Amino acid sequence: MNIKHLIIYTALVTLTSSVHAQTGADKPTKPYNILMIAVDDLNDWVGAFGGNPQAKTPNMDRLAGRSIVFRNASCAGPVCGPSRSALLSGFRPSTTGAYGNDTNMLDSKLVQTHATMPEYFSKNGYRTISCGKIFHKHETSSGFDAGHWAYDVWHDELNRGGEKEETVYSRNKAIIAGKPIENPKHKVGGGSEFSWGVTEKGKEFTQDYRTAKWFEQQLKEQHDKPFFMLAGLSKPHLSWFVPQEYYDMHPLESIKVPEFRMDDLDDIGGGKKHRTFEPHEDFLWVREYGLHERAVQAYLAACSYADECIGVMLDALKNSPYADNTVVVLWGDHGWHLGEKLRFRKATLWKEATQMPLIVHLPGMIDRKDCFRNVNLLDLYPTLIEVCGLPSKELEGKSFKPLLEDPEQPWIPTVTTAGKGNHSVMSEKWHFITYGGEVEELYDLEKDPMEWTNLASIKSSDVESIKAYLRTFLPADEVDSLPESKAKKPKKGLDDAADTTGASAKKTPDPTIKPKRNLAGLR
């Protein structure tokens, strides 16, 4: 690639975008309904995406079989809070200051004056219905904020299932197969408890399955308005406690772990002695105690469990009067590492954490089409507005409705942000990462899909041209981070850092938020 090709490509994308901006939305003759399913921490280990051939996700695969499958979708932020805040507000983390899980987007003056996605659809004649995790949760002085204020109907998720003690694996608690480890290594580490095992009760008692059954009932009811249903599934978020049947789908002896290289991090920063990143505690723990295969098995089992819950909702829609007039959108909120780059979890700017599944089905679609253009979850809000023919709204995302019509037309790279000044710019071929300009990474995704070889420090005109082009997509202005919310360390059962299998104390939704959100006054 040379700079001439880059200029031509940019001009072509600009021209195409201009044409679509002028044509505007084609309003459907009958208002579409929407079923949107959010899956927490789901990476590309879905059959339709081919991220792991061991994945067993037949329900997501059948949805993909009659949808546009976005193979290069990225999140706006590589952890739950900023990703969901951007998707639901329509503004980047660098614009709102919602950079992390400890910052509540409602503290942003911008969000205080703009309708979130469900609020905007409510303003425009939709009945919004939600259960499960859609917004990131925060504790408040008057209860908790789960985004309940944004919907016409909100149902609190139920939190049951328990765990069989003899099946528990936990790094934080130093437990293997239900037994404490003597003189444990790598026990200390932040974030959600790194643990997995089998639930004590069957799927009928588990949180996500109960959420799916609740939506099954909603789809049996008569609705006098077009509906926008937002279903949030917690798995495969940690901890990975799911019924035994899903572990049985992935026998331990058949498990293969992802590829990794122990020298993978040596070329990021100042070389091996001064490298920017070190292997993560979770990775070191599973390698120390020979548990890598078990961890992969547990994640695959959690994905298969989530897939069955999705199947309940898809079957309910298929058997409902709304089957032929409902847009279905399925997304993961960001990616997840399972050993790649010597780590587990998310919260990085590498491809494993910034990219995730995105599937969009429009009424009338009967075949699968794959789109390899770079889109972002930030783009969903304006896309759904245009697809449903609603009045346009000032947002930072870019509607990808044109790609639903022609998935091969030119498009532009997309950005993921992990704190002020830290960004990933992803094109189909190149992945550029910058940490405040002090450390840079550049990967050729065609030749190096595992991102093992950092090209950023190579002295060549081609490399400099590529980096210069990708830098043009970085945010021009970045606000400071919002102050940490009251939920820096949420109580058990409140936040996605909690164990979502055991019973938790009942929390009360903060009743003071919704009255402050006067829809008529929100832009």
User: Of 80, 303, 371, 388, which is the active-site residue?
Assistant: 80
Token pair, residue 15, equals 């021209």
Helix (H), strand (E) at residue 415: strand 414-417
3-state secondary structure (DSSP) of residue 276: coil
Residue type at position 233: L
Of the listed 75, 114, 131, 136, which one is catalytic? 136
Q: 52: helix, coil or strand?
A: coil
Cα angle 277, 279, 283 (rounded to 5 degrees) comes to: 150
Question: Which amino acid type is present at position 465?
Answer: S
Cis peptide leading into residue 226 (ω within 30°) = no
87, 381 Cβ separation under 8 angstroms:
yes
Measured at the CA of 476, the angle between CA 474 and CA 480, to 5 degrees, comes to 100
Nearest one of 160, 157, 172, 137 to 501, comparing CA atoms: 160
Task: Assign 143 to helix, strand or coil.
Answer: strand
Q: Which residue has the tokens 């219905």?
A: 129
Q: Whole-angstrom Cα distance, residue 362 to residue 329?
A: 9
What beta strand segments (E) does 105-178 contain? 127-132, 138-140, 143-145, 153-155, 169-170, 175-176
80 among known catalytic residues: yes
The catalytic site residues sit at: 80, 136
